[in-house]
Amino acid sequence: MDRREFLQAGVYGATLFTASGLIPAVSRQARAATVNMHLTAAAATKTLIDGSTTTVWQFTGDAGAVGPGALGAGLVLQAGDDVTLTLSNNLPQAINLLIPGVLSNTSTCAPGSSASYAFTAPAAGTYFLCDGLSGELGRAMQLFAPLVVLPANGANILTPGDNPFDQQYTLVLSELDTRLNDAIAAGQTYDLAAYEPNYFFVNGLSYPDTVSNLQTAVAMQVGQTIALRFVNCGLIYQPMHFHGYHVQVKNRNRVAEISVVDKDSVAIQPAACVDLLLPVTQPGMYHIHSHFLPAVTANGVYPNGALIAMTAV
Ligand SMILES: [Cu+2]
């Protein structure tokens, strides 16, 4: 799927929904916009990289805004935007809409109903949307979506005072345990203490699908600086390891890192947003993958899962 198929222009020409991955340059006036968007929470059948299927829950945006690999739509806002998200709940249970660090204790949206959630887009940074009623179970079912808030002045920076970066990618990590998904889809319960994920994703995709999709095939040029926004919507810790380059952690959950050093592995805790800068120091094709080795398999088969490629020319 081409990125353009699921970008959607909203009010004032802003790109409001992207499925994560590459965030296009946004040309907007430096003033707050009024943003009204509609989200639907619904069950869907997800085809896994080995051809098997399972049931997921997902947020989708308005028509055409669904991301690759059945990832729920991601939202791109600008700090200060006046936002109303209207949620339609097509799931068989009540949910609500939370944005950790922004929106909490929100009203419940009963099955078959709609609810509106209004907020002012917070400070620039990387966030995610989720359901607060199902909590970890909802995230295991894949009910989440990334949210990137760009600075009000549109600057390509992760931290005030930084030199601008050249491109930015949002990379959402998640995983699922098909026994859990199958049980929930059958109306049964599942003990999260038994959670043992067997499929792993970046932006809803598993390797090798990650290398052929513009959302996860990181395309760079030598001399550029690339911003990578990792959002771990899964329930397990992911140590992301970089071949070919060193990266610098700039923010964890919107808090600036005090000691910025070159790293080739970065811990991404569950429910954490970690922003990195990657200076492109050499040409070539290199991988980023989880050093939790089950995460580069699909139901035990290697290589699959949370493994993506960067190509620099
Ligand atoms: Cu490696």
pLDDT at 161: 86
Which tokens hold the place of 107?
A: 């009203």
Q: Give CA–CA dist 120/84, Å, rounded.
A: 9
pLDDT at 137: 97
**194 CA to centre of ligand 1 in angstroms:** 28
Check whether 122 has a pLDDT greater than 90. Answer: yes
pLDDT at 160: 87
Do the domains 167-312 and 3-150 match in fold?
A: yes
Domain 3-150 homologous superfamily, CATH: Cupredoxins -  blue copper proteins (2.60.40.420)
Q: Amino acid identity, residue 191?
A: D
**188 CA to centre of ligand 1 in angstroms:** 38
Backbone angles phi, psi at 180, to 5 degrees: -65, -50
**307 CA to centre of ligand 1 in angstroms:** 9
> What fold characterizes domain 167-312?
Immunoglobulin-like (2.60.40)
**233 CA to centre of ligand 1 in angstroms:** 22
**203 CA to centre of ligand 1 in angstroms:** 20
**287 CA to centre of ligand 1 in angstroms:** 7
**289 CA to centre of ligand 1 in angstroms:** 6
Per-residue pLDDT of 225-253, as tens digits, reads: 999 999 999 999 999 999 999 999 999 99
**295 CA to centre of ligand 1 in angstroms:** 12
Please provide the size of the chain in residues.
313
Which pTM was predicted?
Answer: 0.90
**For the chain, what are the domain ranges?**
3-150, 167-312
Per-residue pLDDT of 61-105, as tens digits, reads: 765 443 322 234 478 888 999 999 999 999 999 999 999 999 999
**131 CA to centre of ligand 1 in angstroms:** 34
Per-residue pLDDT of 286-295, as tens digits, reads: 999 999 999 9
**241 CA to centre of ligand 1 in angstroms:** 6
Check whether 14 has a pLDDT greater than 70. Answer: no
